[in-house]
Amino acid sequence: MDIQEFKKIANQIRILVIKMVTEAKSGHPGGPLGLADIFTALYFKILNHDFKNPSKKDRDRLILSNAHVCAVRYAAMALSGYFPIEELMTFRRIGSRLQGHPSTHFLEGLESCGGSLGQGLSVGTGLALGARLQNQNHKIYVCMSDGECGEGMTWEAAQSASHYKLDNIIAFMDRNSIQIDGYTENVMKLEPLADKFRAFGWNVIVADGHDFSEIDSAFEYAKNRKGSPNMIIFKTILGKGVSFMENNVEWHGTPTSADQAHLAISELESIKIA
């Protein structure tokens, strides 16, 4: 699959995300729009997974620590065959498999439940250590937000993963510099973020989260590197692809109205992918 195909899929994911949160009248559109390129790369190239056999033993594990962005994961899963695309419109309904925070109780193909921020890196660290003890070779991917780096649990996990030299864990961060209360550097200063993870013993890669070549190179490098856990800090734009949403704090957790959705989808559909 070439880069143009990846771009088309990512754009389709963004359109589906808008439709999902609009239909639900609830949800977080900004983060999913910013992560669409990364999740396209994951589900259509990087991850070892099989929608026909979601529980296969040697599959890679993907932990969604910032579980509120789950619309992007559901859209990527639907497009890669896990369930019908039409089911996305049940997002956040009572009884739906597609809950507002993912649950392994409802949907096969997920590796953890989500809700409280800051837990994902600890879950991933435990899974990575368990895989090593069982001589398993799959990778543990952890998607996390920048805002949750204000949680102490994140740094306890970072210290543990480094102590045990868990090079089978690849964490990646949605560094859009926005959280629900505002800009991260105003809420709780995080920088120098890369240096902090390096000081904890992690291999750190900084990449453009909207450039498929950089996304692919970052993941491939991390997959083959040995001796320490890996952190990819992806620079992303919240609300990517929709002009009135981009870098706008208000769109962290506000669903689009029908009129706003129409404008957003029209804008996304007008994007020319050469």
Structure confidence at residue 1 as a pLDDT band (50, 70, 90):
low
Q: Which domains does the chain have, with CATH numbers?
A: 3-269 (3.40.50.970)
User: Which residue's structure tokens are 């498999």?
Assistant: 97
Which residue type occupies 187? V
Tally of CB atoms within 10 A around 5: 13
Q: What is the pLDDT of residues 238-247, one digit of tens each?
A: 999 999 999 9
d(CA 206, CA 235): 7
Give the global pTM.
0.96
Nearest to 65 by CA among 107, 97, 113: 113
Q: Which residues pair with 178 in a beta bridge?
A: 183
State mean pLDDT over 17-23. Answer: 98
Q: What pLDDT is recorded for position 158?
A: 98
Return phi, psi of residue 151, to 5°.
-90, 130
Q: 20: alpha, beta or left, given left = phi > 0 and alpha = psi -120 to 50? A: alpha
Q: Which residues pair with 182 in a beta bridge?
A: 179
Q: How far is CA 226 from CA 156, 165, 167, in A?
A: 21, 9, 5
Q: How far is CA 211 from CA 11, 35, 64, 268, in A?
A: 13, 11, 21, 17
Helices 30-41 and 212-224 pack at an angle, to 10 degrees, of 60
% residues pLDDT > 90 (the chain): 92
Q: What is the pLDDT of residues 254-265, one digit of tens each?
A: 999 999 999 999
